[in-house]
Amino acid sequence: MSGAAECVVTGVGAQGDGLAICAGAPVFAPYTLPGERVAGRVEKERFVVEAVLEPSADRVAPVCPHFGVCGGCLLQHWAAPAYLAWKRDLVVAALAREGVETEVAPIVDAHGAGRRRAIFHGRQYGSRTVVGFAERKSHAMVAIDQCPVLSPDLREALAAARAVAQALAPLRKPLDLHVTATGAGMDMDVRGSGPVPAGLLMDLAALADRFALARLTRHGELLTQRAAPFVMMGRARVHLPPAAFLQATARGEETLARLALEVVGPAKRVADLFCGVGTFALRLAETARVAAFESNAPAVSALLKAAPSVPGLKGVEGEARDLFRRPLMAEELKRFDAVVIDPPRQGAEAQAQELARSSVPRIAYVSCSAQTFARDARILIAGGYRLLGVTPVDQFRHSPHVELVGRFER
């Protein structure tokens, strides 16, 4: 189906596109809002909008000049109240699809000062170096000169990434440049370059000084360091491994940790599953003994090195363990009176099955996917747990990604 057409947008789908019916067939209409009448053309199952004939009262001016071309943000045109209500509804719908009934609290806006980590892409087009993000549903690159969703601590991140990519341009490799804001300055890890010739190392060191980078690494290999990058997890100073995973915003981390600790309550022995560098473990240890598990050995090592320097922690032990292949078994879980679990987007089906067989009184389930959370929640409920409530959290502003914390009790 193709050609000029008009349609009315009836809703917004889970990936952020408007939903409409055009000539009797459903279509996705990017960058549109519920109730809008739009004109354009149909290309396969997508509606390419050429004019918004009747805009929604919730339509607002985007905050970034790259919006609509850059694929990073999809919803800058939607006013905050309606946008946040839609995000909460995504959680409600995901739970309903799995037949899970519970109270869904109002969504918490946790954007805070903005995102503290970003992955820029660097590509060579002839003699031109382009650094930015990909277009939506494309490998084509958008050269960007600003990104308003980033924290002020990353105000020089794009310029630094561009300079490093230009220095590595002779290698003619596609680059990913991971930049993280830390207490010691920006930390950058370059992926995709291959070995860096000795002749370029001095150039990179000079750029690190110019942009006050705390550290510059290549696939985790140290190239130059001015100061050890660190973040604070509660009272603990954690020295980060290169390209370490962190929650997207500092406010998001604080919010998720607060909600998880509320679920754990007075528990004295807690397991932290998929612990990362200690987002929850180092806070939990203020009042409980914690055993932390994570497949990434450098992350576990960073957590364990940070804990002894904090007076008054109850004790933290850790193990590098692949919880997908070797979940903690029900027998191993007997020694804990609470569990915090924060798996990646695919969820933790195998671990949920073992938790369902366990006798752990409380579980705080932190998730970045409402769909896989709902699946795992159904497993836990079938095992005898009650899901007492879910709190959605938005730290990925202008995107369809929503996080949440669920409270399970026996």
199: its two tokens: 């002749």
Nearest to 162 by CA among 148, 149, 179, 181: 179
Q: Which of 7, 22, 147, 368 is catalytic?
A: 368
Rounded to 5 degrees, what angle do the CA atoms 257, 261, 262 make? 120
- Calpha distance 141→128 (Å, rounded): 12
What 3-state class would DSSP assign to 223?
strand
Cβ atoms of residues 186 and 156 within 8 Å = yes
93: its two tokens: 């719908």
Residue tagged 């915003």 (tokens): 249
- Calpha distance 322→334 (Å, rounded): 19
Cβ atoms of residues 155 and 149 within 8 Å = no
Cβ atoms of residues 135 and 69 within 8 Å = yes
Question: Is 22 part of the annotated catalytic residue set?
Answer: no
Q: DSSP secondary structure string, 294-321?
A: ES-HHHHHHHHHHGGGSTT---EEEEE-
Q: Which amino acid belongs to residue 380? A: L
Helix (H) or strand (E) segment spanning residue 406: strand 403-409
Alpha-carbon distances of 68 from 3, 32, 48, 54, 65, rounded to whole Å: 22, 11, 12, 19, 8
Q: Annotated active-site positions, please? A: 368
